[in-house]
A = this chain, B = another copy of it.
Amino acid sequence: MMCTKCRRREAVYLRPYSGEILCRSCFKRSIEMKVRDTISRHKLLSRNDSILIAVSGGKDSLTLLKTLWRIESRIPGVSLAALTIDEGATERYRVEGLKLSRKICEDLKIPHYVVSFKEYIGYTLKELWSRTREKGLELLPCSYCGVLRRRIMNTFAKDHGFTKIATGHNLDDEVQTFIMNIMRGDYSKLFRFGASMEVISGFIPRIKPLRYIPEMEIAFYAFLEGFKLYEAECPYVRLSMRDEIRFMLNEFERKYPGVKFSIMSVMDKLSKQLSSLNKTYFKSCISCGEPTSRDKCRVCEIMDLIKT
C-alpha cells in the first residue's frame, strides 16, 4: 500500500482520525511540521532564546529533544540544553533514563545537566514516600513528585540563565490532566495551562511543543528514530487516577477517533476565555521566597509534613 501523501513510498502508519496512510518519511516529516507549526502559531520561541529541555530519557522527551534540535538551526540565536531530574524512584527506572538521555545529548552535542531530588531537598522520592507512609499520610508520590520536579526545573533555569523551559507533554498527557481536574472539581486548574505560555514573574516560561501530538504517534516517531525503548515505567504510575483516565480515554479514542483532539479544542477555547477572568496572583513564599499562589509554597508544605 502506497503513502497517501507522497504516493511514492510504502505506507507504514495509519492515522485513524484523518484517514491518512503514511510512509516513514512523510510520517516523520508530519511530526516535525506539527512541532514547528505549534511553536510558530503560539509564538513559543523568540530569537536568542536559551531553552532548557526537560529530558527523562522516555520517548516524549527524546522526541522533543530531536525535533527541537532539528528546528534550532532555523531560528537565529536559539540554543539548547537538557536537564534530567533524578527523582530516585528506584534504581533501575532512573538509571536507564539517565543513560539514554546522556547518550543522545552527546550525539547531538547538546549540554546535559543532572540534578537529583536527593541533592536538592535531601531525600529521594523513595525516601519521601517511606516517610509519608510512616507518618500515616495518604499522599501518593505523584502528588509531590510533579511539584518538586517543576521547582527544580524552574530554579535550575533561573540560576543558569535559561529563558524557556520545554517539556515533552503530549496530547494524551494534556487531555488526561484536563479530565482529571474536572473529575476532581479543580476549577482553577482548568485554564491555567493553555497553548500559549504564561509570563509570570519568578517563573521561567514553560513551553510544550508536543502538545498537539498523540502519544501513540510520538511512540512511533521514537521507534522510527531508533531511540532505544525505555521499558521501565515509573514504578508509581499504577497507583494513580491518571492511569485509569488514560485507559478510559484510549478506549474512547479507539471507538471514536478524534476524541482527544476534540477535548483539546475545548481546553484551548476555555483557556482563552477563562484565563483573563481568573488571574492567579503570585506572591513570595513566607518560608523560601519562591513564587507561589499561597502563603507557603507546596514544596515547603511538603517538607514541613515529612519533617515534623
Contact = CB atoms under 8 A, between A and B. Distances in A.
A147 interface: no
A230 interface: no
A262 B189 CA distance: 13
Interface stretch (A81-89, A111-119, A129-137, A269-277): A269-277
A263 B278 CA distance: 19
A223 interface: no
A252 B185 contact: no
B187 A263 contact: no
Interface stretch (A53-61, A99-107, A253-261): A253-261
Contact of A183 (B252, B270, B273, B274): B252
A1 interface: no
Given A273-B274, A273-B277, A184 B252 contact: no
Nearest to A252: B183
B265 A187 contact: yes
Is the interface on chain A under 10, 10 to 19, 20 to 34, or 35 or more residues? Answer: 20 to 34
A183 to B, nearest CB: 5
Contact of A190 (B179, B255, B266, B278): B266
Contacts of A265: 185, 187
A221 B155 CA distance: 56
Given A248-B248, A252-B244, A183 B277 contact: no
A182 interface: yes
A123 to B, nearest CB: 28
A255 B241 CA distance: 10
A255 B262 contact: no
A183 B256 contact: yes
Given A273-B274, A277-B273, A183 B259 contact: yes
A182 B263 contact: yes
Interface of A: 179, 182-185, 187, 190, 241, 244, 248, 252, 255-256, 259, 261-263, 265-266, 269-270, 273-274, 277-278
21 contacts: A179-B182, A182-B182, A182-B263, A182-B266, A183-B252, A183-B259, A184-B262, A185-B261, A185-B262, A185-B263, A185-B265, A185-B266, A187-B265, A187-B269, A190-B266, A190-B270, A241-B256, A244-B255, A248-B248, A273-B277, A274-B274
